[in-house]
Structure 1
Amino acid sequence: MGLKQAAFATELRRLKKVGLDTSILIYHLEDIEPYTDLTEVTFSAIAEGLPRAILSMISVTELLVQPFARGEEDRITIFEQFILSLPNTDLVPPTYTIAKEAARLRAKYAIRTPDALLISTALSEKAEAFLTNDSRLRSLKAEGVSILVLDDFS
């Protein structure tokens, strides 16, 4: 494990809860380099319970669009099994409160609706950090959530 990966592992394991961007799941399930090592660290830490993961149901939609579009029933099954078997993970449905907070975040930070929903879900569950690879989301640190960007550690 390189120095940046070790720093990432240390940062991740100090958290109690972390929100996950859909991209983290995609990178892991599609084995996308150079992120595979970091997603392995992420899901190993979550499996051990440090941190607990917060995953929005919106991520299920985002994750399954391409397999449905390509008619890849086997990938749909693999992706669903992965999501539903993740230990130490809260799969959180959207609520009115989450949607309202997402609207506020979208208006204040000019972020995309799916990003706003994912982050408002993480905030609603008291996540200390949000793991993504979208550096544009760094501005949300002002909301009291650390934004961990994979590219900073790869």
Structure 2
Amino acid sequence: MEEGNFLKSLNKHRILGIDTSPFIYHLEKNPIFSGLTLRLFELVEKGGVRAVTSILTLMEVLVRPKQLHQQKVVDDYGFLLRTFPNLTLRSIDDGCAERAADLRAAYGIRPPDALQIGTAIVSSATCFVTNDEKLKKVKEIEVLVLKDFA
């Protein structure tokens, strides 16, 4: 599949949940996936869709720059996630945690994945963008896997 099909799939939705991996691929200019993530984040930035990601994304994208003592990168990534147009960086509340527990009980997915998807669902997202094929088994939300479009 290709970028055009990816955009068509995204455009079926008003609100997207976005996992950490698309952010990392985009920020680190991953040679395989950055074309797709560019389209994704352009669509969000221009208001074609709204997006949500949980606060876990902030933690996960900051780990590598912190390990490398790259404070400017830490500051830049944090600023970007907090201020990106049409993107909500959502804290995990009781509703998100309960939905995550439902997902773990039903599918046995890892806690961070359950929290990310639970946050997306509670935020009214109808699609979750990830690169984890194991999450396709979740039926409460459409799961788009970047590898399927690369």
Could you tell me the TM-score, scaled by structure 2's length? 0.95
| 1:12-64 C-alpha deviation (Å, 9 max, x unpaired) | 12210000000010000000121010000001100111210011111111111
Alpha-carbon RMSD across the aligned residues, in angstroms, is: 1.1
| 1:79-132 C-alpha deviation (Å, 9 max, x unpaired) | 112212210111211101211211221122111111100000000011010000
Which of residues 128, 149, 153 is equivalent to 2:149? 153
Output the CA distance in 1 between the equivalents of 2:12 and 2:37: 16
Q: Percent identity?
A: 35
Provide structure 1 residue ranges, at least 5 long, that are not aligned to the other structure: none
Which of residues 20, 23, 40 is equivalent to 2:21? 23
Query: Could you tell me whether the CA contact under 8 Å between 1:19 and 1:129 is conserved in 2?
Result: yes
Which of residues 67, 73, 76 is equivalent to 2:74? 76
Output the CA distance in 1 between the equivalents of 2:95 and 2:86: 24
Find the counterpart in structure 1 of residue 34 from structure 2: 36
Kindly report which structure 2 residues correspond to 1:1-154, keeping only aligned pairs within 5 A, or say none.
4-140=2-138, 142-143=139-140, 145-154=141-150
Output the CA distance in 2 between the equivalents of 1:45 and 1:13: 9
Could you tell me the TM-score, scaled by structure 1's length? 0.93
Q: Which runs of 4+ in 1 moved over 6 A?
A: none
| Partner SS, residue 56 of structure 2 | helix
Output the CA distance in 2 between the equivalents of 1:78 and 1:33: 21
Provide structure 2 residue ranges, at least 5 long, that are not aligned to the other structure: none
Indicate the larger mover: 18-27 or 55-64: 55-64
Output the CA distance in 2 between the equivalents of 1:84 and 1:69: 21
Aligned pair count reads 150
Query: Could you tell me whether the CA contact under 8 Å between 1:14 and 1:50 is conserved in 2?
Result: no
Query: Could you tell me whether the CA contact under 8 Å between 1:105 and 1:116 is conserved in 2?
Result: yes
